[in-house]
Amino acid sequence: MKFAVLDFETTGNQSADEIIQVGLAIIDEDRSISRVYGSYVNPGIPIPPFITGLTGISDQDVAEAPSLEEMMMELVPMLDDVVLVGHNVAFDFNFLQNALDRCGYLPFSGRILDTIHFLKICFPSLTSYQLGMVSSYFGLEHDRPHQADSDALATAYALLKCLEELDQLPLLTIQRLSDLFAVEDSDLSWFFDGMRADKENQAIQDPDNYTYFRQFALAIEDWTDMTPARDEEEVNPLAELSFEQYMSQVRNNLREILPQYESRDAQDIMFEEVMKALEDDKHLLIEAGTGTGKSLGYLLPSIYQSVKQEQKVMVSTHTINLQEQLRERDIPLLTKIVPFPFKAAVFKGRQHYLCLRKFEHKINRRDFNTPKEDIIIAAQMIIWLTQTETGDDEELNLGGRGGDFWETVSSDSDSCLGRACPWFRKCFYHRAKHEAGIADVVITNHSKLFTDVKANHQLLPSYERLVIDEAHHLEDVAGKHLGLHMKYFTVIHTLTRLYKDSRNGQLPALRQLLQTSAHEKAGEWTVVIDRLYPDLITVKESWDRLSDLLFGLLPERGDASAGDAGQFTLRLSPSKKPKDWESLTELENQIHVTLGDVVRKGDMLTSEVREELNDYGADSLITDINGLFKDLAAHRENLKFFMTLNDEGVVYWMEANGNFRSKSLQMFAVPVDVSGQLKELFFDKKRSIILTSATLSVDKSFQYMIDNLGLQDASDQGQLNTVQLPSPFNYREQALLLIPRDFPSVKGTMGDQNFVSTLVQSLADAAKATHGRMLVLFTSYRMLRQVYDPLKEVLSSSDISVLGQGMDGSSRTKLIRRFQDSSASVLLGTSSFWEGVDIPGEALTCLAIVRLPFQPPNHPLVEAKSELLQQQKKNPFMKLSVPQAVIRFKQGFGRLVRTAQDKGIVIVYDTRVIESYYGKYFLYSLPGPKMEHMRTEQMVPRIAEWLHGDEAIQ
């Protein structure tokens, strides 16, 4: 096989556009790159400035270059008898065919392969398949991105990496891939077919580092072979060791591994305070700012407590991200510095683990919704099975439709065969559960914590001591889980997975299987299935109609939420239901009755078929169908609870998006006050709960958290300690907070012309003074959009690029990466950028906060909480709105200084911080930066002086 790797740079991406540069790398049969060809091409028209900005190719570069015809005379002979390869090859292939046609050659008729497909399949865990990212991941030289010869060479190297990877796979995996692609007549099918033939002709040399089971190669052994970290017969390693002695051994080990390690006062206090609370069975609220090293601050005492007392400690984080960070970064370090063996396990929600039985079933039955994409995803996962030890979806970069595919193969309790499943000993979910069972410390997330509570503690191993990191989110997560959240598609997905049409869905699959069965009752059962179809169609039609009618109740205003444009919200109140609500509840009642009937008949059918038909294929299918019926039963109850609207302690509301209308309908029913439930479920039950975060106090007091989390009783009884750790950074030297005191103010979520133009000018001036490297936080997406284009225009001449959340379809992670990688850029973000964004060092020098982050007062949950406070004769603004906004403000401020070397500026454009009576709560809650207010035009000189400055002027 000889490959020609092709790349064009063009004046645009329409077929009428012109080629301005070509790059071609030839890979010979022996996999050496024998030739790299590159040439500019004179397009005969001016190159658009945007393309020059992207590629660096200017009109001067191509002025003397060969014409298209001259270039093609050189290129065409090199395309003889090759497999054509490109990164997103359809683009280059399109231009190639056009050029061949225009220059009078025959079209290219050889095989075509895309390196994006290969990279996805061979490296399923890469975070990005963009050429620059791939090159840097493999350490390949790619010095001139968006230049054709450099791109072609980088693509050739990427292809060689994929071929190397495929060479190392066992024959069984290659056979699986070849079978998977066999049905479609594609060049990938041809490629894997050839690869299989090659491998089958070699002497068998399947590597030993795989487990082979049911025609799959896996990276794992049976989980039943996993043993605890220490032998039970052995003496407890901490029997004679005090916490101080243990910590001094840990510190010595740390110094050996990290010579630059210095103990930090704040972290030392944290070790002591966490240990004290765990030992004395107390609860603890501990605020630990950035740079404290709080993960180690709670993990080291937790390991000591757990091993010494032989009782598990549970650790819960808010985001999967932080769970991953603990797994990737902190646990490996702890394994090296803790002076005895211990086990820390990460345990997530069940839907994060692959169900091997469902996956096998899906592939064997080729149960694909969108075959072209699904086959690539299935191929990715077949190779991933030879690499993964956890089966956790966070390791996979599925992209596109991958989420829908994952839903059909992820583990769930309703369709689990348990010990009866042939995959049981290999099962990823049971592996994670077993590992959590034998671990000393289990790291889970807030979501799983509440799912476990709702499932009567059947999911997590039992624990008496709990550490809650990112604890400022606990109340929100509790509300979501102790309440209800239902989407239009939640119901539709379940219905269509059962029955999409006579050929697609789990019920038609069972019907097909029964038709080939010789069982005497097979005919009877198919009749039952046929009778279920019309009922399922009726439910879908009624649900569509109900969703339309509910959407019709939403106000036609796009201002209801600070999020996206066109987001509608409507609160429903038990005391004043919308008019005609009765007719809606009648429709809900019909759904309730029909679904009750469907679920009853479905359950009887599945249990009968399972008992009488001994067939593993059918067993597997019936389990899945049974699971779907259980889901329908749950949707039926949830819908009834929502539509009955009868609980005064619950706030009910609906949300939808103007663009997707009733298809985007979401229903919420959340307890107004979760403090009572948190107290009852956690603080009264558990011996010791440590709550930590960088933002727990407001104006140096923890009272807001104590009230909202249900800790007042514990506090009154002396069962609660509170600690605010000193900051490890010197904020007076490292951070300067500026407030332009003459800045125009703004009402609502939109700025007027004067506000927007003043803001754009000031941001542009500040960006130039800090050479880009600026993060701008908005509280409303609409205002972000008002600022994005004008700011881009003002900065276009100064080589500073502007990135905006939601402006070009990039995900948050991609935007942050692009911001870090570019030498000068301004990043505009809304709500999700206020926290969890970690950009240390030079990449971020200036943080601008446009408005104080108050929640929109008309959000149903905020409204309901305010009403409750008014009934208690408390001031909702001071008790709820201000503390919430202060905590968010502190989170935003925390983006700036991430290490002891960082130095930067925060600009607050909201003059309420110095003009209003409540402004002081915001400023006093910060960890002591230097604060100054001045006229807007004085800011830029002050910024320049602070950053580069002559300190003597002060």
pLDDT digits (tens, 9 = 90+) for 677-710: 999 999 999 999 999 998 888 888 999 999 999 9
Q: How confident is the model at residue 558 (pLDDT cuts 50, 70, 90)?
A: very low
Contact assessment for residue 643 and residue 585, using Cβ atoms and an 8 Å cutoff = yes
**Would you state the pLDDT for residue 840?**
63
Distance (Å, whole) CA 836 – CA 726:
21
**Average pLDDT over the chain, rounded to an integer:** 87
Residue 341 in this model has a pLDDT that exceeds 60: yes
pLDDT of the residue at 559: 43
Other Cβ atoms closer than 10 A to 13: 9
Q: What pLDDT is attached to residue 566?
A: 58
Spell out where 439-559 has E strands: 441-445, 465-468, 484-487
- Which tops the pLDDT comparison, 653 or 208? 653
Whether the Cβ atoms of residue 188 and residue 113 lie closer than 8 Å to each other: yes
Q: Bigger pLDDT: 843 or 639?
A: 639
CB 23 within 8 A of CB 37: yes
pLDDT at 206 over 80: no
Residue 442 has pLDDT above 80, yes or no: yes
Cα–Cα distance for residue pair 666/646, rounded to 1 Å? 19
As a whole number, mean pLDDT of residues 498-509 equals: 85
Q: What pLDDT shows up at residue 836?
A: 66
Q: Say whether pLDDT at 812 is over 80.
A: no
First to last CA, the chain: 71
Residue 809 has a pLDDT of 66
Instruction: Round to whole Å and give the CA distance between 86 and 108.
Output: 14
Q: Structure tokens of 605?
A: 């059918």
Instruction: Render 628-691 in DSSP notation, one character per residue.
Output: HHHHHHHHHHHHHHHHH---TTEEEEEEEETTTEEEEEEEEEEES--HHHHIIIIITTSSEEEE
pLDDT at 903: 84
Banded pLDDT at 158 (limits 50, 70, 90): very high
Identify whether the C-beta of residue 880 lies closer than 8 Å to the C-beta of residue 938. no
Tens of pLDDT, residue by residue over 706-763, are: 999 999 999 999 999 999 998 888 888 889 999 999 998 877 666 778 889 999 999 9
d(CA 327, CA 315): 12
Adjacent-strand bridge partners of 740 = 934
What are the tokens at 807? 């402006």
Which H/E stretch holds residue 344? strand 344-346
Q: Is the pLDDT of residue 50 over 80?
A: no
pLDDT in tens, 116-151: 999 999 999 887 888 887 888 888 776 676 777 888
Of all residues in the chain, the percent with pLDDT exceeding 70 is 96
Q: Regarding beta strands 465-468 and 313-317, do their DSSP bridges make them parallel or antiparallel, or are they unpaired?
A: parallel
Overall average pLDDT of the 249-263 stretch: 87
| Nearest Cα to Cα of residue 336 among 232, 256, 272 | 256
> What is the average pLDDT across 17-44?
89
pLDDT at 564: 45
H or E element at residue 944: helix 939-948
| pLDDT grade for 951, boundaries at 50, 70 and 90 | very low
Residue 897 — pLDDT band, cuts 50, 70, 90?
Answer: confident
Rounded-to-integer distance, Cα 349 and Cα 561, Å? 29
Q: Which range (120-129, 297-306, 335-344, 617-626) has the least confidence?
A: 617-626
**pLDDT of 470 strictly over 60:** yes
pLDDT at residue 781 is higher than 90: no
> Cα 76 to the chain's mean position, in Å?
45
User: Among 199-213, 256-270, 525-539, where is mean pLDDT lowest?
Assistant: 199-213
Secondary structure of residue 938 in the 3-state scheme: helix
Residue 125's identity, in one-letter code, is S
| pTM of structure | 0.83
